[in-house]
Structure 1
């Protein structure tokens, strides 16, 4: 079963820290900042008759101050609604992971007696791996579905970076470079 989460994005100019308190209303809010285009004109001093060269750099857009934080952890839904994901702080470790249907699924390990193959995660050490879980781990537990992390967006928190495309999520441990990419019809752990 796939959850489909609707998200309303509030676009506003932003200044200051990305750790400012976010509103806690029933809607999902994101602040997007767009740097203005910059133009640089250069005159080559060695060739007096050469015309000036003008270069225009495209503006950059960065997602900041997103409303994904709940209880020192960060939760989001994939753009296609197929995965519930999180960067979570636990008492003895921090991890990033996603749960939802994916294919192919590796063989169930002998020591997994509960749900296998519906989630993948990366922890503080070691490569990304499928997980054995008895329920949904990567959800804030709020009655409203967790906010969608839009396609092309990046969420970097607690030493992990998760990014999305229209149909996939990639999460990486910033220190070890281990992680995973998961989609409905593909997955990779590294």
Structure 2
């Protein structure tokens, strides 16, 4: 997993959004830095990162496409993205720092240190940042 403990880079527990959580059925958004782009649908999310200082774990044999350029939650499970396409450059809105979006059971919070997404039913999710990542 990550080489630096999440607690040392601010990727641990989710801070509370400073603004109310906006409920949507779907959203395509990016962080204010434009380094992270996410595609959120009811019960699932895929976030990808442009610049990062970490490497993903080795590509599993089950992935024959691009590996590790982001993270996703699907069916209540969080993992690295295995895909032949990208969501980078597709965002139609910016999710300001301190704001959160929810679609179904999945909520994403845009923080200064990281994008954090969680499936509130399974409690699985991820944090994604330049410095590090955390799957939980």
| TM-score above 0.5 | yes
- Paired position in structure 2 for 1:74: 27
Residue 125 (structure 1) aligned to one of 59, 76, 90: 76
- Paired position in structure 2 for 1:62: 19
1:148 aligns with 2:94: yes
1:136 aligns with 2:136: no
Provide the TM-score with structure 2 as the length reference.
Answer: 0.74
> Structure 1, unaligned stretches of length 5 or more?
1-60
For 1:65 and 1:162, how far apart are their aligned partners in 2? 10
Higher strand share: 2
Aligned-pair CA distance for 1:119? 1.5
Residue 99 (structure 1) aligned to one of 31, 48, 62: 48
- Paired position in structure 2 for 1:30: none
Tell me the number of residue pairs that the alignment of Structure 1 and Structure 2 aligns: 118
Q: Decide whether the 8 Å contact of 2:47 with 2:72 is kept in 1.
A: yes
Q: Decide whether the 8 Å contact of 1:80 with 1:167 is kept in 2.
A: no
For 2:110 and 2:22, how far apart are their aligned partners in 1? 17
Aligned-pair CA distance for 1:178? 0.5
Listed one character per residue, the Cα deviations across residues 128-173 of structure 1 (whole Å, up to 9, x for unaligned) are: 110211112477x5xxx42111111111221111101124100000
- Paired position in structure 1 for 2:103: 157
Q: Which runs of 4+ in 1 moved over 2 A?
A: 61-66
1:150 aligned counterpart, secondary structure: coil
Which structure has the higher relative contact order (CA within 8 Å, separation 6+)? 2
Provide the TM-score with structure 1 as the length reference.
Answer: 0.55
**What is the root-mean-square deviation in Å for CA atoms of aligned residues?**
2.4
